[in-house]
Structure 1
Amino acid sequence: MLRLRSTAATLALASFVALGPLATDMYLPALPAMATALNATPAQAQLTLSVYMIAIALAQLVYGPLSDRFGRKPPLLVGLVLFTLASLACALAQSIEAVIAFRFLQALGGSAGPVLGRAAVRDVHGPLEAARILSYLGAATALAPALAPIGGGYLLAAFGWPSVFIFLAAYGLAATALLWLALPEPLAPAQRQSIHLHSIVRNYRFLLRHREFVGYMLACAFTFAGLFAFLSGAAFVLIEFLGISAQHFGYYFTLAVGGYITGTLFAGRLSRRLGINRLLLIGGVIATLGGALMAALALAQIFTALAVMLPMMLYMIGVGIVLPQSTAGAIGPFPQIAGSASALLGMVQMSIAAAAGILVGHLHSGTPLAMAAIIALMGTAGLASFFGLVWLPGRALQECSVKEV
């Protein structure tokens, strides 16, 4: 068994957290081909992404309390097995409706990875160190969305779109073996909580009444929703509208991932010096500027790949700063209910992301405009949530304390 504070254990947790971006990003290049093969519209193909997010949102509300009661490892094992089986079913599906249904099941299993991986980091490293570890974890897991579209594009060209889901099934099987054989349980028995419905509802109600938790949660959720708006529309904009090949789609996608890695490394190096809130403000401003720039270029009818990807790279620098800091800010103060806090954060994050993705699918007219406008809106909403619920009230309290002294 690995030591939980070892680098190897942190990388193992990263492989579970990466399950989410891997399952969404790897088949992005295959979306147009899958839609053609199954006689589906772009909106129906995009629904396979949004349904995945909806299922993740619902499942996390269950995984969180279960993991607070029984530990992180048993629910994660069940989730990984379900993810593996559902991935195989997606590969064998003969209609878009079947893919949508199996994607729902795939997400029910796969959502265990991110929510329990984040909670395990909090279990092992504590609230302050968790922000730094989550930043580096974000950089490590960014390898999944960086490499996944490239690998997905080549799998599509060589073996067709079902091969992407076969690869995901193999990844799920390997992750299951890693968890079963190499990782001990991170949650101490003394920290486990009741699973009674009353306790679950009470914990969620307590969190929703906590102003700073809500502020961090919404900052994380809206900023992530801008990323998901891009994921929902990028393949149709870059491949169908701008004529980029499916094999080369992943290389353009690495610009966005490079931005994300830059943001996470920046946050990881400066988290102790600047603190969570200053970093969140910086990241929120950067993401808002990136979204606004993309929307402005689209309104000016400047339709090139770089006009989409360079602003998205800027937006993703902001995402790389905001996501780990807002996650640590939301979960850190609640060690006894870290699983429930992580689950509620994930549920709201994925629900808003699914709504943004559905909007992109329904408003998409071929050009980047709808996608860019929604990205700009989500970035602005994330910054406003943090600024109005965390930053300004915190400054007011500091001023009151100074005046009292």
Structure 2
Amino acid sequence: MLALTSVWTTVLLAAAVALGPLATDMYLPALPSMGVAMAAGTDQVQLTLSIYMAGFALAQLLCGPLADRFGRKPVMIAGFVLFAIASVGCALASNIETLILCRFLQAIGGSAGPVLGRAAIRDIYTPREAARIMALLASIMALAPALAPTLGGLMLNQLGWPSIFIALAGYAMVMTLIVAIGIPEPMAPENRQPLKLCSLIANYRTIGSDISFIGYTLTNALTFSGLFAFLSGSSFVLIEFLGVAPELFGLYFGFMVLGYISGNLTSVRLSKNLMPDQILLRGLVISVAGGSLMAALAMMEVFNVWAVVVPQAIVMIGVGMVLPQTMAGALANFPRMAGSASALFGFVQMAVAATIGAMVGYLHDGTSLVMAVIIAASAVAALAAYLLLVQRHPATGFEPAAEPGR
């Protein structure tokens, strides 16, 4: 097996964590076609995305404590197997109700990758090192959503939308073997927590009452919601409203992912000279600028592909800078409960994003306006959460303003 601190371990963890984004990004070009095939409305089809996020959020609350008790690897392997089975169910679904149910089950299995990937990084590295490693991991991981929509569009045209879910099932089984054979168990035996309801409640109460955890988590969730608003609305805006061919959707989506990768790499580079809070603030300001530009263009009825893609790429530069810092900051105070902290962090992130995604579908007016306004509002709310909470209550050992021994 590989050494825990090996670069290849980070690459394999990124591949495992990428299963979650793949399950959302790969089938985006197929959403309009799936609606036609199943005689379902836009709001029903977008519900397959929001229900995935809701299931993802709920499952993490159990996934984290299980991993704190039994270790990261067994829970991750079990999750991948469930994901593969549910993906086959999605491919075989003949109506929107069955697809929604299978997407929910897919989310329960898929939650294991991201929540345990974050926890594993916290197991292996210090809080400051974890921020840098998470940014590197996110850069590697971003290759998946950069390629996934293009691949999904090609598969849609050549093989039909069920083939996308069969491919996801295959990926999950490959990752099951890789995790089982290639990655050591990162959790130290002495850090294992008892799996008792009273202990579980006590752990979540401890984590949820930590003001710095709340600040980092809300900042992250609101930032991620802007990204998810784009994921939820982009295929309908670009394909249905602006006339982009499904097979070309991934190319425009990839432009946005390049912004995200740029933000990740910028975060890594700036970490040599700046503190995490300085990187966070810069990223949030960039996201607000990009979101505001998209909303302003939509309000002026400037409706074309680049009026959506370019501002979103700017938003994603900021997102790429913000997410790694907030992930590391949220887990910094909980080395012995990293699984539970990662689970609660992920629950809030996904619950807020699912709500925002449902709003995009419910309020969609056939143009880019609703999506653009929600992206801008999410970025402004994230900046407010940072200024009101994170700046005043930084995590111990992560930000210089934290009081020693807190």
TM-score (norm 2): 0.96
Give the structure 1 partner of residue 173 of structure 2: 173
CA deviations over 1:278-297 (Å, ceiling 9, x no partner) = 11111111111111111100
- Aligned partner letter, 1:97: E
Separation in 2, partners of 1:180, 1:364? 43
CA deviations over 1:270-321 (Å, ceiling 9, x no partner) = 1242111111111111111111111100000000000001100000011101
Separation in 2, partners of 1:104, 1:220? 23
Instruction: Say which SS state the counterpart of residue 132 (structure 2) adopts.
Output: helix
Q: Which structure carries more helix by proportion?
A: 1
Give the structure 1 partner of residue 304 of structure 2: 304
Report % sequence identity. 55
Give the structure 2 partner of residue 216 of structure 1: 216
Query: Does the 8 A contact of 2:271 with 2:279 survive in 1?
Result: yes
Give the structure 2 partner of residue 261 of structure 1: 261
Q: How many angstroms does 1:63 deviate by?
A: 0.7
Query: Does the 8 A contact of 2:220 with 2:326 survive in 1?
Result: yes
Query: Does the 8 A contact of 2:153 with 2:250 survive in 1?
Result: yes
Give the structure 2 partner of residue 147 of structure 1: 147
Separation in 1, partners of 2:400, 2:270? 22
Query: Does the 8 A contact of 2:72 with 2:186 survive in 1?
Result: yes
Deviates more, 1:337-346 or 1:122-131: 122-131
Give the structure 1 partner of residue 247 of structure 2: 247
Q: How many angstroms does 1:37 deviate by?
A: 0.5
Give the structure 2 partner of residue 384 of structure 1: 384
Separation in 2, partners of 1:275, 1:195? 36
Give the structure 2 partner of residue 77 of structure 1: 77
Q: How many angstroms does 1:234 deviate by?
A: 0.2
Give the structure 1 partner of residue 231 of structure 2: 231
Superposed CA RMSD in Å reads 1.6
After the TM superposition, which residues 75-224 of structure 1 pair with which residues of structure 2 at under 5 Å, given as runs? 75-224=75-224
Instruction: Say which SS state the counterpart of residue 184 (structure 1) adopts.
Output: coil
CA deviations over 1:182-223 (Å, ceiling 9, x no partner) = 111110101111111111111111122111110000000000
Give the structure 2 partner of residue 357 of structure 1: 357
Instruction: Say which SS state the counterpart of residue 47 (structure 1) adopts.
Output: helix
Query: Does the 8 A contact of 2:50 with 2:357 survive in 1?
Result: yes
Instruction: Say which SS state the counterpart of residue 218 (structure 1) adopts.
Output: helix
Separation in 2, partners of 1:373, 1:216? 23
C-alpha spacing 1:175/1:393, structure 2 compared with 1 (3 Å):
closer
After the TM superposition, which residues 361-376 of structure 1 pair with which residues of structure 2 at under 5 Å, given as runs? 361-376=361-376
Query: Does the 8 A contact of 2:393 with 2:402 survive in 1?
Result: no
C-alpha spacing 1:398/1:16, structure 2 compared with 1 (3 Å):
closer
1:19 and 2:19 matched: yes
Query: Does the 8 A contact of 2:211 with 2:393 survive in 1?
Result: no
Q: How many angstroms does 1:99 deviate by?
A: 0.6
Query: Does the 8 A contact of 2:68 with 2:339 survive in 1?
Result: yes
Separation in 2, partners of 1:234, 1:340? 33
- Aligned partner letter, 1:201: I
Which structure 2 residue ranges, 5 or more long, are not aligned? none
Query: Does the 8 A contact of 2:212 with 2:393 survive in 1?
Result: no
Separation in 2, partners of 1:329, 1:125? 13
Query: Does the 8 A contact of 2:215 with 2:393 survive in 1?
Result: no
Separation in 1, partners of 2:97, 2:21? 22
Deviates more, 1:188-197 or 1:107-116: 188-197
Instruction: Say which SS state the counterpart of residue 274 (structure 1) adopts.
Output: coil
Give the structure 1 partner of residue 294 of structure 2: 294
Separation in 1, partners of 2:49, 2:251? 21
Deviates more, 1:219-228 or 1:195-204: 195-204
- Aligned partner letter, 2:328: A
Separation in 2, partners of 1:52, 1:12? 24
Separation in 2, partners of 1:127, 1:193? 20
Query: Does the 8 A contact of 2:285 with 2:383 survive in 1?
Result: yes
Q: Give 4+ residue runs of structure 1 displaced > 3 Å after superposition.
A: 397-401
Separation in 2, partners of 1:138, 1:347? 19
Separation in 1, partners of 2:335, 2:281? 25
CA deviations over 1:297-349 (Å, ceiling 9, x no partner) = 00000000000011000000111011000000001221000111110110000
Q: How many angstroms does 1:399 deviate by?
A: 9.5
Q: How many angstroms does 1:127 deviate by?
A: 1.5
- Aligned partner letter, 2:111: S
Separation in 1, partners of 2:73, 2:213? 26
Instruction: Say which SS state the counterpart of residue 274 (structure 2) adopts.
Output: helix
Query: Does the 8 A contact of 2:157 with 2:247 survive in 1?
Result: yes
Separation in 2, partners of 1:340, 1:290? 34
Give the structure 2 partner of residue 49 of structure 1: 49
Give the structure 2 partner of residue 324 of structure 1: 324
- Aligned partner letter, 1:137: L
Separation in 2, partners of 1:114, 1:224? 14
CA deviations over 1:132-162 (Å, ceiling 9, x no partner) = 0000000000001100000000000100100
Q: How many angstroms does 1:126 deviate by?
A: 2.2
Q: How many angstroms does 1:4 deviate by?
A: 1.2
- Aligned partner letter, 1:65: P
- Aligned partner letter, 2:30: A
C-alpha spacing 1:339/1:238, structure 2 compared with 1 (3 Å):
same
Q: How many angstroms does 1:392 deviate by?
A: 4.1
- Aligned partner letter, 1:243: G
Instruction: Say which SS state the counterpart of residue 187 (structure 1) adopts.
Output: coil
Separation in 1, partners of 2:153, 2:252? 12
Separation in 2, partners of 1:284, 1:214? 17
CA deviations over 1:98-136 (Å, ceiling 9, x no partner) = 110000000000010000011001111222211000000
TM-score (norm 1): 0.97
